[in-house]
Amino acid sequence: MKLKICGMKYPKNITEVGSLLPDYMGFIFWEKSARYFDGIMPDLPKSIQKVGVFVNASSSEILEKIEKYNLQAIQLHGQESVEFCLDLKNKIGTKIKIIKAFSVNEDFDFAILKPFEDVCDYYLFDTKGKLPGGNGITFDWKVLKNYPSTKPFFLSGGIGLDEISALNEILKTNLPIHAIDINSKFEIEPGLKNVQLCRDVALQRPYEIKNKNMSYNVNEKGYYGEFGGAYIPEMLYPNVEELRQQYLKITAEPEFQAEFNALLKDYVGRPTPLYFAKRLSEKYNTKIYLKREDLCHTGAHKINNTIGQILLAKRLGKTRIIAETGAGQHGVATATVCALMGLQCIVYMGEIDIKRQAPNVARMKMLGAEVRPALSGSRTLKDATNEAIRDWINNPVDTYYIIGSAVGPHPYPDMVSRFQSVISQEIKAQLLEKEGRENPDYVIACVGGGSNAAGAYYHFLDDEKVTLIAVEAAGLGVDSGESAATSVLGKIGIIHGSKTLLMQTPDGQITEPYSISAGLDYPGVGPMHANLFATGRAKFISITDDQAMQWGLQLSKMEGIIPAIESAHAFAVLDEMKFKPEDIVVINLSGRGDKDLNTYIDYFKL
Ligand SMILES: *Cc1c(COP(=O)(O)O)cnc(C)c1O
């Protein structure tokens, strides 16, 4: 669901509201309105579409404003006829959208819309007030139950925060609501928006309802539903743009594919086994398979991605590799592939994490990497990320930034998911061999940023017969204040250059996450997962530290496999859900537990 903030008037206020990245901002070009706009248009982020609102204006006046203010859409709020709309459409072309507004109440005859179907792109439904628009009279949603069309529409009319909570109800219907339009209830005075209130709605707006034909994969603009994109500082634009233009082309080249696959086979040890866990299956009375990413070189799935990205970096002619790391797992995977390729490697790591993760720091050093401490802020992952980004801005020509999860600005989430998609590609072939069918009934994976889950889901995303289960870290409990369960606690926000679900305070400060497993201790999830959650395609379950630790022990004793604590979270789903005896359940065992031995020792007093 998109957001339009309408009735903008004052330049400074326009800039402030623009920084919240609504999808549309409306400017009223009707002199009788208290929100009449006649000022200077400040520069706005490119993702925002500027809508000109007119009441019975002439087409020449409309054309003049389009030209002067670079408008992307026209909202007609008077008694404009079908003929007028058609004529205007011919004059402005198809790139500029026409939104035809109608005031509706319970007597509204929806048959009126029929002739407008072909001459406008969207409808907007407003309440009947004395003056068009911004009258603060609240819309009664029930009148829309007779809506006969499939044309997407804007919902307007006295929408305040309370109405937005109530919106969740009508979102469950199949009405093609394109956007909500807010105005007078978010103002200090006519035309002056209350930025704090606008921020609340920008962060809390109800999520997009899935339409049946939608793909769960990324679209050409870098979005999964409404999540994703590339929200980056101007200075990073050339680097990210270079990558965006090149990544699909380069990774599709036969020589790239050949080199990638050869390294996955001989260096990483792929394909990793799909192991039928017999004792576990008997105990839970269902068929449980484990995808053994724990057997990858360096002990987890992360190397699939770093191999892919280092090959890409080489083809882009980069000689210097940077990365950020929290617990050190991604740092080690990056240092490993840099050693393999003989490239310089600098890993940024929070000063606190350097102290906490001494063995991984030592590994990186042995592999020839330089570990640079991040000394600012809380001196953890977030600060290391900031340092890495700063480095990249300063060294745009020779440096490549390897991101370690399905996060970051487009194209990173898609690129990382593609490199990890080898996991589900292998599951398909292996299941066909073992069970005579390619698709399981369930795929279960833990989610930190989301790369191992993205890889395990990838080839099943658009097959809804496969139930996807995402397991997040509840830490000490979702209500404890010490948690990393983003789907429960997160709201829409921007982190790491991507619009996604994010744990944050009401004024948008990122909340420190907590989990006993360093790999799940992240305040957001990647945009693919935010969309899987918002659309209901994946089921999200939160598992506490204690549940995960008990599973670390249980898997060790029952199957002879000591899992990474991250992966142990995924197994706890077996206690939370009931499966049928004939169900095929695949659990992605993302990594091995060697790195967690000290945590296991402390917890179980071993
Ligand atoms: C890093 C890590 C994770 C979490 O990262 P994702 O990108 O969500 O996969 C999970 N398991 C292991 C073993 C890890 O090292």
Q: CA angle 462-468-473, nearest 5°?
A: 140
Regarding predicted confidence, which is higher, 220 or 287?
287
For residue 520, the CA-to-ligand 1 centroid distance in Å is 7
CA distance 179 to 531: 17
Asked if 205 contacts 164 with a C-beta cutoff of 8 angstroms, the reply is: yes
Catalytic residue among 65, 89, 193, 302: 302
For residue 525, the CA-to-ligand 1 centroid distance in Å is 12
List the residue whose alpha carbon is closest to atom 7 of ligand 1: 451
Regarding predicted confidence, which is higher, 205 or 245?
245
pLDDT at 213: 52
List the residue whose alpha carbon is closest to atom 3 of ligand 1: 519
- Ligand 1 pocket: which of 296, 304, 415, 446 to mutate (most atoms within 8 A of CB): 446
pLDDT at 203: 65
pLDDT at 356: 83
| Residue 563 phi, psi (nearest 5) | -85, 160
For residue 437, the CA-to-ligand 1 centroid distance in Å is 28
CA distance 150 to 259: 48
Instruction: Write the DSSP string, 391-447.
Output: HHHH-TTTEEE---SS-SSTTHHHHHHHHHTHHHHHHHHHHHHHHS-S--SEEEEE-
pLDDT at 145: 80
Q: Is 552 helix (H, G, I), strand (E, B) or coil?
A: helix
Compute the average pLDDT of residues 316-341. 96
Atom of ligand 1 nearest to the CA of 404: 7
Is 426 a catalytic site residue?
no
Ligand 1 cavity residues, CB under 6 Å: 300, 302, 329, 405, 446-453, 519-520, 564, 566-567, 590-591
- Inform me whether the pLDDT recorded for 136 exceeds 60: no
pLDDT at 381: 87
Q: Does the bond joining 411 to the residue before it have cis omega, within 30 degrees of 0?
A: yes
Tens-digit pLDDT profile for residues 555-600? 999 999 999 999 999 999 999 999 999 999 999 999 999 999 999 9
| Residue 539 burial (C-beta neighbours within 10 Å; 0-12, 13-18, 19+) | middle
Atom of ligand 1 nearest to the CA of 299: 13
pLDDT at 158: 82
Tens-digit pLDDT profile for residues 431-465? 999 999 999 999 999 999 999 999 999 999 999 99
Compute the average pLDDT of residues 30-46. 92
Q: Is 73 helix (H, G, I), strand (E, B) or coil?
A: strand
Atom of ligand 1 nearest to the CA of 525: 8
Q: CA angle 381-382-386, nearest 5°?
A: 115
Q: CA angle 107-110-111, nearest 5°?
A: 120
- Ligand 1 pocket: which of 294, 324, 329, 517 to mutate (most atoms within 8 A of CB): 329
Q: What is the mean pLDDT of the chain?
A: 92
| Residue 412 burial (C-beta neighbours within 10 Å; 0-12, 13-18, 19+) | buried
| Residue 500 phi, psi (nearest 5) | -155, -170
For residue 493, the CA-to-ligand 1 centroid distance in Å is 22
Q: What confidence tier does 327 reach under pLDDT thresholds 50, 70, 90?
A: confident
Is 324 a catalytic site residue?
yes
CA distance 409 to 125: 35
- Ligand 1 pocket: which of 423, 451, 452 to mutate (most atoms within 8 A of CB): 452
Catalytic residue among 226, 293, 324, 472: 324
pLDDT at 374: 95
Spell out the residues 6+ positions from residue 217 whose beta carbon is closer than 8 angstroms to its own: 224, 414, 461, 462, 528
Q: What confidence tier does 210 reach under pLDDT thresholds 50, 70, 90?
A: very low
Is 578 a catalytic site residue?
no
For residue 596, the CA-to-ligand 1 centroid distance in Å is 13
